[in-house]
Amino acid sequence: MKICSLHRGTLPLLVSLPHDGSYIPSELATCMTERACTAPDTDWFVSRLYGFAAAMGASVLVPSHSRYVVDLNRPQDDVSLYPGQNTTGLCPIVQFTGEPVYLSGQEPTPTEISDRVERYWRPYHDALQSELSRILTAHGRVLLWEGHSIRARVPFLFEGRLPDFNVGTASGASCRPDTQAGIEAILGAQDEFGWVANGRFKGGHITRHYGRPQEGIEAVQLELAQCIYMDEDAVEYLPERADKVAALIEQFFEAWLAA
């Protein structure tokens, strides 16, 4: 199975969906709990939600494997992105519920983690870096858009209900000020969805590592509350909801491209 797939577009826009994959190899699944084998913490249907991006000319990078194999949005040294808060790591051993991913005594060893980094993590990042470089050379600028989603309520990670749209720019460091202001203006002009910028989710490793606006590479992470485009419990995509969400995201892209 391919580690990731890249649709190469014509615009200075790259959509990365690092938690869209749900595949868990059988040799790893035998070490996991029954619930973990269903990959419950997948960013369900984000590649479908962002289907418009490829159609409009963006490049789109999608992995095949679950974040339980290796989390592509964590640094390879596994330093916490949110010190002092509950989170999950490079090769998660707890689910978003706080339950274990692995059967007792079956957690990956340091050697196994290093192997997963080389087999799964590095190819994704090599593809990401290569496509960013290609786009930057061709256009002189590029927007790296990190598409994510999560259940609206995850007590293990945050209190209460997550806002619908959660924009992360590493507190403004990963993109130009006018890019963030443009996104906030679009969100502020509508009243159907709640939103916050740099709240609980400020952007993961990819946003923080690759976002270098001074070099022409801007990076933005959007974490969506899954209930606004799908049925969280049934794990079912709801087009009538999703179309409204996708249309708003498309506005972000069109505004940036026109700037």
What ranges do the domains of the chain cover? 4-258
Instruction: Give the fold, CATH level 3, of 4-258.
Output: Aminopeptidase (3.40.630)
Tell me how far CA of residue 123 lies from CA of 11, 18, 81, 149, 218, in angstroms: 23, 12, 22, 23, 22
Q: Are 67 and 42 in contact (CB under 8 A)?
A: yes
3-class secondary structure per residue, 79-103: CCCCCCCCCCCCCCCECCCCCECEC
193 confidence band (pLDDT: 50, 70, 90):
very high
Q: What pLDDT was estimated at residue 1? A: 87
Percentage above 90 pLDDT, the chain: 93
Tell me how far CA of residue 113 lies from CA of 24, 26, 65, 69, 104, in angstroms: 15, 17, 15, 9, 17
Contacts of 89 (CB under 8 A, 6+ apart): 71, 74, 78, 80
Q: What pLDDT was estimated at residue 84? A: 62
Estimate to the nearest angstrom the gap between the alpha carbon of 40 and the chain centroid.
15
Residue reference for tokens 């079956």? 106
Q: What is the pLDDT of residues 195-224, one digit of tens each?
A: 999 999 999 999 999 999 999 999 999 999
Q: Mean of the pLDDT values across residues 237-241?
A: 98
Q: What is the pLDDT of residues 33-89, one digit of tens each?
A: 999 999 999 999 999 999 999 999 999 999 999 999 999 999 998 776 766 676 778
Distance CA 157, CA 7 (A): 33
